[in-house]
């Protein structure tokens, strides 16, 4: 746990050794259970502790490798604890610290279930955890009661963050997954000339003040993380024999890009992780930086227009924000210290860089300069949303929702809050068709900046780019998105008439709106309005 997260190779041998020790320990207690029970008084909760540690180990291994199959392994250990009631006797012992172990186990199990989209299990666990917390606070008058109740509130808000419910015929909620599936990204067709770069590393940075969070994940970080992962496979189904650690045949598909999840990092933490990612980036690979954070605006007038004159985003607000408002600096001549300015990222543009900024000052990154001629793209969120749109910022940003689950975002801006499964699937099919057409528009454009095409060979980046264009086109056609600041931007700029304002794409968006019976929300002949 204490080994630094960055630097992918240093920690691997330690994990290997720890896995070995716990595997031996687990087998030992299985083989000698009777002796341990009868002669040494081994308690069931002690077996639960070992299983819980193994689950935690798999979870941490997932965090460090981004390989979703390790989440399944963590899940199987955590569920075994619950199924076999390893912790059931803890409440009979008069030791609050043991009950805390049980509560922590629940909190960790919930995180793993959230990441695997097992929402039905999450709801059961929350109910059980709530009863356990009530019992714990009733029996031991402890000071951490408030903290545990906060954990419950956080997870309840997290579960309800999606603005639209998809319902089965019996009105149960359909669990939708937003990881990359086989049919996810539009396929490259003949004649599409794109680069061969692959997304290898991503930094997902979250610092939105009042956004729903659980553990150290804001809802924006959670959504972005899923957009950069494939659907998890079971390790056992991937291997020749269950339990074998190495298979001679590698799985056919590429691994997930490696991710660092940074919640409210200080500038020095952020730069350390950035430098480590940059250093370890393989040849022909891309580094992605995703920023979901409060905007920092330039103070005072500046005569120059350099990369530090437009403000940026605040990555850590411990010292800088009181009641949600940025403190105005004593001396306006100085720059904000904890702000990540566009200029701070210049050194890293020596390698291919893909930046996504979701912030009220995302446009600061429009003033980028490509100094080294490497592929470089910034996708920038709207800086404000129409007042008529119900404020959802606490439940995550609309822009990030479009990048993670474009259909849900489309339904939300169309004023829909629930939908039947059959119609949802019909719309998803239509959206895949739209994505294929956007891919055609992009790759056949004569005036598009080459950076976009160089990134387009990677499945994850291709999907993000097509969703970005869909988002931008949708907002430009929407009746209440009328100000320039309501639209996403990009650096370099996209040729509007060939992409986000293309009549062919606009026709498709109206078609989708017709399927949903919400055509009245959109402008019919947008071209005449400009």
Identify whether 59 is part of a domain: yes
Strands (E), 297-386: 312-314, 321-322, 325-326, 339-340, 353-358, 376-380
Show the DSSP H helices in 393-458 as ranges: 398-404, 406-413, 421-444, 450-455
Reading the block at residue 80, the tokens are 């075994």
Full pLDDT tens readout for the chain, 530 residues: 778 877 767 788 888 899 999 999 999 999 999 999 899 988 999 999 999 999 999 999 999 889 888 999 999 999 999 999 999 888 788 788 889 999 999 999 999 999 999 988 999 999 999 999 998 888 887 778 888 989 999 999 998 899 889 998 888 888 888 888 877 778 887 777 788 899 999 999 999 878 899 888 999 999 999 999 988 765 444 433 233 333 334 445 568 999 999 999 999 999 999 999 999 999 999 999 999 998 988 876 666 677 888 888 888 875 544 444 444 444 556 777 788 999 999 999 999 999 999 999 999 999 888 999 999 999 999 999 998 886 778 899 999 999 999 999 999 999 999 999 999 999 999 999 999 999 999 999 999 999 999 999 999 999 999 999 999 999 999 999 999 999 999 999 999 999 999 999 999 999 999 999 999 999 986 544 44
**Is the backbone peptide bond immediately before 492 cis, with ω within 30 degrees of 0?**
yes
Cα 425 from Cα 434, distance rounded (Å): 14
Question: Does residue 129 share a domain with residue 220?
Answer: no
Last residue of a domain, one of 160, 190, 209: 160
Closest CA relative to residue 452, chosen from 468, 437, 430, 431: 468
Identify whether 81 is part of a domain: yes
Question: Does residue 156 share a domain with residue 205?
Answer: no
Reading the block at residue 475, the tokens are 């907002």
Closest CA relative to residue 177, chosen from 110, 219, 213, 223: 223
Angle between helices 12-31 and 33-40 (to 10 degrees): 70
Reading the block at residue 165, the tokens are 């419910």
Reading the block at residue 40, the tokens are 């040494």
53's CB contacts (< 8 A; 6+ apart) are: 22
Cα 198 from Cα 458, distance rounded (Å): 5
Tell me the CATH number at 104: 1.25.40
Question: Does residue 397 share a domain with residue 285?
Answer: yes
Strands (E), 63-184: 165-167
Last residue of a domain, one of 160, 188, 219: 160
Identify whether 437 is part of a domain: yes
Identify whether 110 is part of a domain: yes
Question: Does residue 496 share a domain with residue 427?
Answer: yes
Question: Does residue 146 share a domain with residue 204?
Answer: no
Residues 53/23, Cβ–Cβ less than 8 Å? no
522's CB contacts (< 8 A; 6+ apart) are: 477, 478, 479, 509, 510, 513
Closest CA relative to residue 458, chosen from 202, 275, 117, 262: 202
Cα 329 from Cα 334, distance rounded (Å): 8
Secondary structure in 3-state letters for 37-69? HHHHCCCHHHHHHHHHHHHHHHHHHHHHHCCCH
Cα 168 from Cα 523, distance rounded (Å): 32
Cα 188 from Cα 192, distance rounded (Å): 6
Identify whether 346 is part of a domain: yes
Question: Does residue 312 share a domain with residue 377?
Answer: yes
Cα 510 from Cα 293, distance rounded (Å): 32
Show the DSSP H helices in 286-378 as ranges: none
Question: Does residue 118 share a domain with residue 36?
Answer: yes
Residue 168's SS3 state is coil
Identify whether 291 is part of a domain: yes
- How many other CB atoms are found less than 10 A from the CB of residue 305? 8
Residue 516's SS3 state is coil
Strands (E), 223-298: 258-263, 285-296
**Domain ranges, residue 477:** 198-234+254-318+334-521
| Helix, strand, coil tally for the chain in percent (to 5) | 50, 10, 40
What's the confidence (pLDDT) of residue 504? 94
Cα 473 from Cα 415, distance rounded (Å): 17
Question: Does residue 115 share a domain with residue 56?
Answer: yes
- Number of compact structural domains in the chain: 2
Cα 202 from Cα 191, distance rounded (Å): 29
322: which DSSP letter?
E
- For the chain, the first-to-last Cα distance in angstroms comes to 56
Question: Does residue 511 share a domain with residue 424?
Answer: yes
Identify whether 96 is part of a domain: yes
Identify whether 171 is part of a domain: no
Last residue of a domain, one of 160, 181, 212: 160
What's the confidence (pLDDT) of residue 88? 87
Question: Does residue 220 share a domain with residue 125?
Answer: no
What's the confidence (pLDDT) of residue 265? 92
Cα 245 from Cα 239, distance rounded (Å): 8
307's CB contacts (< 8 A; 6+ apart) are: 341, 342, 343, 346, 367, 368, 369
Closest CA relative to residue 317, chosen from 218, 395, 176: 218
Cα 210 from Cα 217, distance rounded (Å): 13
Question: Does residue 357 share a domain with residue 302?
Answer: yes
Query: What is the number of helices (H) and of strands (E) in the chain?
Result: 17, 14
Torsions phi, psi of 356, nearest 5? -125, 125
Question: Does residue 206 share a domain with residue 139?
Answer: no
Run of H or E residues at 292: strand 285-296
What's the confidence (pLDDT) of residue 174? 87
Distances (CA, A) of 469 to 479, 495, 500: 18, 11, 6
């Amino acid at each position: 746990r204490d080994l630094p997260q960055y630097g992918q190779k240093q920690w691997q041998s330690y994990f290997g050794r720890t896995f070995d020790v716990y595997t031996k320990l687990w087998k030992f207690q299985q083989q000698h259970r009777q002796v341990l029970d009868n002669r040494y008084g081994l308690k069931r909760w002690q077996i639960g502790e070992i299983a819980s540690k193994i689950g935690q180990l798999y979870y941490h291994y997932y965090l460090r490798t981004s390989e979703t199959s390790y989440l399944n392994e963590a899940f199987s250990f955590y569920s075994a604890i619950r199924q076999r009631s390893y912790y059931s006797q803890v409440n009979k012992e008069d030791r609050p610290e043991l009950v805390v172990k049980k509560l922590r186990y629940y909190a960790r199990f919930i995180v793993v279930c959230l990441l695997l989209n097992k929402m039905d299990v999450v709801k059961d666990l929350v109910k059980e955890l709530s009863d356990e917390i009530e019992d714990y606070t009733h029996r031991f008058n402890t000071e951490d009661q408030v903290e545990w109740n906060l954990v419950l509130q956080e997870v309840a808000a997290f579960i309800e963050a999606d603005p639209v419910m998809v319902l089965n015929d019996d009105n149960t909620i359909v669990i939708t997954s937003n990881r990359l599936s086989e049919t996810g990204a539009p396929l490259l067709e003949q004649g599409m000339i794109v680069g061969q770069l692959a997304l290898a590393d991503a930094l997902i940075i979250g610092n939105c003040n009042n956004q729903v969070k659980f553990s150290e994940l804001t809802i924006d970080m959670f959504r972005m993380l899923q957009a950069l992962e494939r659907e998890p496979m079971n390790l056992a189904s991937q291997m020749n024999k269950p339990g074998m650690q190495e298979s001679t045949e590698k799985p056919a598909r590429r691994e997930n890009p490696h991710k660092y999840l940074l919640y409210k990092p200080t500038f020095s933490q952020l730069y350390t992780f950035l430098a480590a990612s940059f250093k370890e980036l393989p040849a022909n690979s891309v580094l992605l930086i995703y920023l979901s954070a409060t905007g920092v605006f330039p103070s005072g007038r500046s005569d120059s227009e350099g990369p530090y004159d437009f403000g940026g985003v605040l990555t850590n607000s411990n010292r800088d924000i009181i009641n949600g408002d940025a403190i105005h600096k004593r001396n306006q001549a100085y720059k904000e210290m904890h702000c990540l300015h566009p200029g701070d990222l210049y050194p890293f543009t020596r390698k291919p860089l893909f930046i996504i900024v979701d912030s009220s000052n995302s446009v600061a990154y429009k003033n980028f300069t490509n100094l080294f001629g490497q592929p470089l793209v910034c996708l920038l969120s709207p800086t404000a949303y129409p007042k008529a749109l119900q404020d959802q910022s606490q439940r995550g940003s609309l822009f990030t929702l479009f990048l993670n689950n474009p259909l849900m975002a489309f339904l939300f801006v169309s004023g829909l809050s629930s939908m039947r499964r059959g119609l949802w699937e019909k719309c998803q099919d239509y959206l895949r068709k739209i994505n294929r057409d956007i891919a055609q528009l992009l790759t056949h454009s004569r005036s598009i900046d080459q950076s976009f095409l160089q990134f387009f060979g990677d499945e994850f980046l291709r999907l993000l780019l097509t969703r970005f264009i869909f988002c931008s086109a949708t907002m430009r056609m929407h009746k209440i998105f009328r100000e320039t600041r309501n639209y996403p931007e990009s650096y370099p700029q996209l040729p509007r008439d060939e992409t986000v304002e293309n009549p062919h794409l606009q026709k498709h968006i109206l078609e989708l709106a017709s399927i949903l019976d919400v055509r009245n929300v959109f402008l019919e002949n947008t071209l005449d309005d400009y």
